[in-house]
Amino acid sequence: MQINFLKSRLAEASEIIYTSKYTVAFTGAGISVESGIPSFRGKNGLWSKYNPVVLELNYFHDNPLESWKVIKEIFYDFFMKVDPNPAHFTLSHLQESGLLQEIITQNIDGLHQHSGSNKVIEFHGTSMQLVCTKCGQKYTQLAHLLENLPPRCEKDNAVLKPDFIFFGEGIPPLAYENSVKAMKQAQTLIIVGTTGEVAPASSLPYIVKQNGGKIIEINTESTSYTDSISDVFLAGKAGEILPEIEKLIIGKM
């Protein structure tokens, strides 16, 4: 009974995506869980092991070495070793075949790009780049910079920070502007693996709903979107659900 229910929901979702003229994917930490990256919240979430204070801007400026030791352990020693999973690859294939116009991610792990997606809006920035806290110089060759902590700018010796936003920082203006623009155009939104608890990212899906767009949500658990705005809720792992949708879409081509 439950399998038939999921099958009909998968069929519904694939038809919506196949017939939609402008589709956007909005992803959160859940899409990278099957790559081995823990989510932030929940029982095994990163914030149950580490103190998020290291990502507070003022604390970071006052305690750069202590903060960097933890940041390196979470976001560099570990993130650098992981690979995209079938959920990332499905979105990349859909983008390539013209069925997905935009990917907006809250993630900073770079896995959408590693799966082949060349157009990704990183709403919270990226860990794949460091930025000088004084002159704004960006660095992408990370390995040698991270040998001595805290990493420092080659020009002015100021401390470098990951180019993702810390608590207390604003959303990169261009990412915000492009995300709102994409959401306004979307006929269909695929929400994948986000609790929708962190503003302002959490408010983006409501733009699509207000404009009459369809919302497909994929998550192992229900969220604040599920009963409020989701038209099709697919309960399960993103790395299993998304490839199933792709198979059904290929069958229509």
175 interacts with ligand APR by CB under 6 A: no
102-105 and 188-192 beta bridge pairing? unpaired
113 interacts with ligand APR by CB under 6 A: no
What three-state secondary structure class fits 165? Answer: coil
125-132 and 138-139 beta bridge pairing? antiparallel
Part in contact with ligand APR (CB under 6 A); list of ranges 39-47, 69-77, 136-144, 173-181: 39-47
Distances from the Cα of 11 to the Cα of 34, 97, 209, angstroms: 23, 19, 21
195 interacts with ligand APR by CB under 6 A: yes
Instruction: Judge whether 103 and 112 are in contact, CB under 8 Å.
Output: yes
Q: Which is nearer to ligand APR, 23 or 106 (CB)?
A: 106
Whether the ω angle into residue 162 lies within 30 degrees of 0, i.e. cis, is no
Which residue among 45, 158, 235, 243 contacts ligand APR (CB under 6 A)? Answer: 45
Part in contact with ligand APR (CB under 6 A); list of ranges 8-16, 26-34, 70-78, 131-139: 26-34
What three-state secondary structure class fits 118? Answer: coil
User: Active-site residue numbers?
Assistant: 124
Taking the complex as a whole, the smallest distance from the CB of residue 167 to ligand APR amounts, in Å, to 8
Task: Point out which residues bind ligand APR (CB under 6 A).
Answer: 28-30, 33-34, 39-41, 45, 106, 124, 193-195, 197-198, 218-221, 223, 237-238
